Amino acid sequence: MTAPVLRAAAVWDVGQARRAAQELGAVAGRLPTWRNRLEGVARAVDGGTSWAGPAARTAAAALRDLSAAAWAVERATAESGTAFDRLAAEAGAARELAREALVRLEALALPGAPALPAAEAALRHVRAACAAADDAGTALADVGVHGGSAPADFAALAAGLPLGQPVCAPPGPAGPPEAVAAWWAALPLAAQLTALRTDPAGLGARDGVPAWARDRANRQLLADALADPGIGAYAAFTARVVASRIEAEEAAGSPVQLQLLDLAGDRVALALGDLDTADAVALVVPGIHNTPGDDLGALLGTARAVTAAARRAAPGTTVAAAVWLGYDSPSGAPQVLGRRNAVEGGAALAGALTGLRAGRDAVVSPEARATVLAHSYGTVVVDEAADAPGALAADAVVLLGSPGMEGDAAGLEAPEVYEAASPDDLVVALRWFGRPTGSDGFGATALPVDPDTGHSGYYDPDLPTLTAVGRVVAGVPDPR
């Protein structure tokens, strides 16, 4: 049997297997973007904010089924494409070894000799190629492809699919945001919604989970907190502030995403705009004496001013700006004068930035331009974020009124670093935490500053710095 198998393998059309792998890879590469758009519509209908009633519920169920089918086809084509890659590689090796073995067998006049090393190796690759072919067929059979025929329509496809998929456990707490994002993107929409209902606390603060999902989880936590009579007085106060700010912003027509709600730790992140789809994303990192309960409204005003400035700089650009109070902003003298809060906050900020990028990458969403806008002690937080493992996932860093940095601009790991330091800013003059950002050797690009700007005036709409900040966020060349 050896010689007939070798003769068959010697004329295998390996190119056909390679072309099939390429075609399946191309289809699998396009499906995530399409599924992401589909699920965006499904989430909007499922949320009941734009459409309600029996017809809306029927439409939401149909969209969830369509999403599940798209997920199944995406997974099947990806798995089959991988198997075809393996098939092409094994078939190619088998063909070359079979040809070599046949030449040697003919030279020896021993057509049945199975002991030749080339023949044995060829047969091993033949068996591996056959196994890969079986795997490729099995993957496609899961979505109704049998014997070269596919389901005739969606009803035929859906009839053979298990539309209710189990939810796999997420990566462990130490798992990087990239792993979390990949896990989430691999779930069909129905499984994602189930996970959000069953574990809002675990997903609402998880870097790598997309912004829409974190928002839904954190809103559930907020609703639970508002309804909890046993919650502490300060936590209840903060919850009411967050809820009122969301209500006010949405009433004014601004999309809002609640990215973090840690009432026990007094940490909140709230975004104006859609972090999952915006062309440009900015994180506003404040300095000392800032709490969600007392300062969220004013900081949202800053975020609003930044988005407006960015849109003026680049009309047509979609912008999202998040107030990031994801660290313990120092309030007492020992904290204000030390780096401990910045070290903790830096690690959290680095994770937040990586999570934003990973969440978009996992669903093949166009990459956003990410800018960190740090003020005062917030610049020290950015300094520490750059020291966290991995590169800082930011395209630009803006340092406003910094009390000094440990190293230079290159150490911040962002391609673009800007600074604004007013001669009238006493915090800048102290240089408490290191090198002045405006010094010649630091290496940052200086933004325009009114000489009378005080420490809290960099976002003043009547002064030139805000306009320049908007140009940085929008990615307009030469923001000076």
Highest mean pLDDT among 4-8, 70-74, 191-195, 355-359 belongs to: 355-359
Burial of 477 per CB tally in 10 Å (0-12, 13-18, 19+): exposed
Task: Pick the range with the lowest mean pLDDT from 11-20, 151-160, 300-309.
Answer: 151-160
pLDDT above 90 (res 189): no
Query: What confidence score (pLDDT) does residue 88 get?
Result: 74
Give me the domains of the chain, ranges plus CATH numbers: 2-159 (no CATH), 177-474 (3.40.50)
Task: Pick the range with the lowest mean pLDDT from 96-105, 209-218, 468-477.
Answer: 96-105
Query: What confidence score (pLDDT) does residue 82 get?
Result: 76
Query: What confidence score (pLDDT) does residue 292 get?
Result: 97
431: phi > 0 → left, psi -120 to 50 → alpha, else beta; which?
Answer: left
CA angle, 224 then 225 then 228, to 5°: 85
Q: When comparing pLDDT for 436 and 116, which is higher?
A: 436
- Indicate the pairing of strand 369-375 with strand 396-400: parallel
- Indicate the pairing of strand 369-375 with strand 319-325: unpaired
pTM of the predicted protein model: 0.76
User: Would you state the structure tokens that stand for residue 386, as one six-digit string?
Assistant: 């750059």
Q: Are 206 and 170 in contact (CB under 8 A)?
A: yes
pLDDT above 90 (res 477): no
Q: Are 292 and 238 in contact (CB under 8 A)?
A: yes
| Mean pLDDT (whole number) for 414-442 | 91
Q: Are 321 and 307 in contact (CB under 8 A)?
A: yes
Query: What confidence score (pLDDT) does residue 122 get?
Result: 66
Q: How confident is the model at residue 434 (pLDDT cuts 50, 70, 90)?
A: confident
- Token pair 């680049």: residue: 314
Highest mean pLDDT among 44-58, 69-83, 358-372 belongs to: 358-372
Mark 289-314 as b/e (b = at least 16 C-beta within 10 Å): ebbbbebbeebbebbbbbbebbbebb
Q: How confident is the model at residue 95 (pLDDT cuts 50, 70, 90)?
A: confident
Query: What confidence score (pLDDT) does residue 78 get?
Result: 73
User: Would you state the structure tokens that stand for residue 98, as one six-digit string?
Assistant: 């079979």
| Mean pLDDT (whole number) for 305-325 | 97
Average per-residue pLDDT for the chain: 83
Amino acid at site 136: A
Highest mean pLDDT among 110-119, 129-138, 368-377 belongs to: 368-377
Quick check: helix, strand or coil at residue 252? Answer: coil
pLDDT above 90 (res 449): yes
Quick check: helix, strand or coil at residue 401? Answer: coil
Query: Tens of pLDDT along 373-427?
Result: 999 999 999 999 999 999 999 999 999 999 999 989 999 999 999 999 999 988 8
| Mean pLDDT (whole number) for 7-15 | 71
Closest CA to 272 of 236, 235, 311, 237: 311
Q: In the chain, what is the greatest distance between 2 CA atoms, to the nearest angstrom? A: 97
Closest CA to 74 of 187, 156, 194: 187
d(CA 75, CA 98): 34
**Distance separating the N- and C-terminal Cα atoms of the chain:** 78
Q: How confident is the model at residue 1 (pLDDT cuts 50, 70, 90)?
A: very low
Closest CA to 356 of 273, 275, 257, 268: 275
Query: What confidence score (pLDDT) does residue 136 get?
Result: 63
